[in-house]
A and B are shown apart, each in its own frame.
Chain A
Amino acid sequence: LGIDLSPVLHSLGIHPNSVYRRKVLDTFQSPWVETSRSEVEPRFFTPD
């Protein structure tokens, strides 16, 4: 039957009702919440 996905989406930083959709894969810490306790440095570029 599956589960209520709201908390799962919340843990991913996905807000389905928000008008603004933000990408989450670029800051994805880990497939599991338990191993996502610190944020990871995403890609970035600094001009010379």
Chain B
Amino acid sequence: ENDAFRNPLFQPQLEYWLQTKRPLIQPYEDMPVSMASQLESSLLNCPDSLDADTPHLFQTPLSLPHPTSIFFPNETIRLVSSDHSNPPTQSKHNDIYSRTFLARIMSKFDLDTLFFIFYHYQGSYEQFLSARELSHRGWQFNKVNRCWFYKEVEKLPPGMENAEEITWRYFDYQKSWLARRCGAEFVYREEEFERI
């Protein structure tokens, strides 16, 4: 009486579906040969981590033209997991990414490399990780001008009028590809910065 059995679109496949219920209702005492060989076959075809990886049908081209871009491959390198011999040490950065190979290697990258990944691999997991690494290093992302800013605090020798001197830097990704000092007119507005 069930609707599914009366839908011609479900015939004849429904039969195969029903057959799979039998061992659930009446379990076999010993594994039949057919089941054993299907199990073996399943073991042989066992999906691996590449099968389980996130699909990317559209390969994002490099997002901005850059003079050195011809030296960088378009594809991300499939990094192979190395051993996890080092136990976590930093409590501040103890998130789900910290133990991945990619995040750990990014912690060794130059700022230059991190900025390149950030601006040229937009929307990618790699961009996300570079932003995370920059954030860990104290950089902040300005939503308005899309630049990364860094607050440099210099402790002044005792006896000076102020205890510390603050300078702001930003990374100029559009023209010079350098970190530049902000002018005296720069005012830090918290709402302009992305909370990462």
Contacts and interface: CB of A to CB of B under 8 A. Distances in A.
Interface residues of A, number: 28
Given A20-B91, A35-B47, A35-B49, A42 B98 contact: no
A35 B47 CA distance: 7
A8 to B, nearest CB: 12
Interface string A33-48: 0011111111011110
B53 A38 contact: yes
Contacts of A23: 96
A34 B128 CA distance: 28
Nearest to A13: B84
Majority SS at the chain A contact face:
loop
Majority SS at the chain B contact face:
loop
A18 B91 CA distance: 11
A10 to B, nearest CB: 7
B154 to A, nearest CB: 31
Interface of A: 10-11, 13, 15, 17-20, 22-24, 26-27, 29-30, 32, 35-42, 44-47
Given A30-B52, A39-B81, A40-B53, 19 more contacts: A15-B88, A27-B96, A27-B97, A27-B99, A29-B49, A30-B48, A37-B48, A37-B49, A38-B48, A38-B79, A38-B81, A39-B101, A39-B102, A40-B52, A40-B54, A42-B97, A47-B143, A47-B194, A47-B196
